[in-house]
Structure 1
């Protein structure tokens, strides 16, 4: 027969083991949650960096397009000015007379 003291010792031992197991499980859950939250926050910040870089690239592309259009308009204006001066028409007429 098991005495009262030994039964109490066994009960206390079982409570301590069970508590330690539960605390370990809870710590594991918390650790996993912290890792998952950390990964999500890191992903969010990375997305922000990528969006910022994409915005900068889009702005640079737009500036290049505007600059290209400006050069095209300047070229058109130069040709219009040449046409208004009659220089191009005179050259064309001279070339027709030579043939």
Structure 2
């Protein structure tokens, strides 16, 4: 039969292990979210550069205005 102290130790150990597992899963969720946000920001920046370059080409290709 287990002593009261050994039972308490087992309970604390089980709680610590469970907490570590949940914290690890939460960290994975947060890491995935951060990666997704960074990827979207990069994609947005790429689109901004493309639109800006297309605008420059459009201005450069415009025929001169006659006065």
Q: How many residues align?
A: 66
Structure 1 residue 15: Cα displacement: 0.2
Partner of 2:6: 6
* DSSP 3-state at the match of 2:2: coil
Q: How far 1:3 sits from its partner (Å)?
A: 1.1
Q: What is the RMSD computed on CA atoms of the aligned residues?
A: 1.4
Which contiguous aligned blocks of 4+ residues in structure 1 show a shift greater than 3 angstroms?
A: none
Q: Which has the higher contact order (CA 8 A, sep 6+)?
A: 1
TM score, norm. by length of structure 2: 0.91
The structure with the largest helix share of the pair is: 1
Structure number with bigger Rg:
1
